[in-house]
Amino acid sequence: MTFKRVLAESKLTQVELAKLYGVSKPMIWYWSKHGEPLYSTHARRQAALITTALCVGVDHGKLPLRAMSKEARAKWVEKMAGTLQALKPAPH
């Protein structure tokens, strides 16, 4: 389960992914070129957890999102960002 797979198969924009991961859009661009953070930190474990959750969404057919209005899509992204960022990675 990789970030590049999430980027390709989820059909989420970089702005939406930045909200879901709780990082900046330039960070999403950097990850798309170089992969997620390699150093062992809480941020890396959090990013890996969110990537896994999004890959499961792709596997279960929840992503890519079905056709919906811009407002509904933005609301979904906000709600999902709160849920994903509330997940706690296992202690290291």
- Distance (Å, rounded) from C-alpha 76 to C-alpha 61? 16
Local confidence pLDDT in tens for the 92 residues of the chain: 689 999 999 999 999 999 999 999 999 999 999 887 777 788 888 898 999 999 999 999 999 999 999 999 999 999 999 999 998 887 76
What pLDDT sits at residue 37?
73
What pLDDT sits at residue 1?
65
Domain ranges of the chain: 3-86
- Distance (Å, rounded) from C-alpha 81 to C-alpha 34? 23
Identify whether the C-beta of residue 46 lies closer than 8 Å to the C-beta of residue 89.
yes
What pLDDT sits at residue 44?
86
pLDDT tens for 4-29 read: 999 999 999 999 999 999 999 999 99
* DSSP annotation string for 9-70: HS---HHHHHHHHTS-HHHHHHHHHH-S--S-SHHHHHHHHHHHHHHHHHHTT--SPPS--H
Q: Which two tokens stand for residue 82?
A: 């709160």
- Distance (Å, rounded) from C-alpha 84 to C-alpha 43? 13
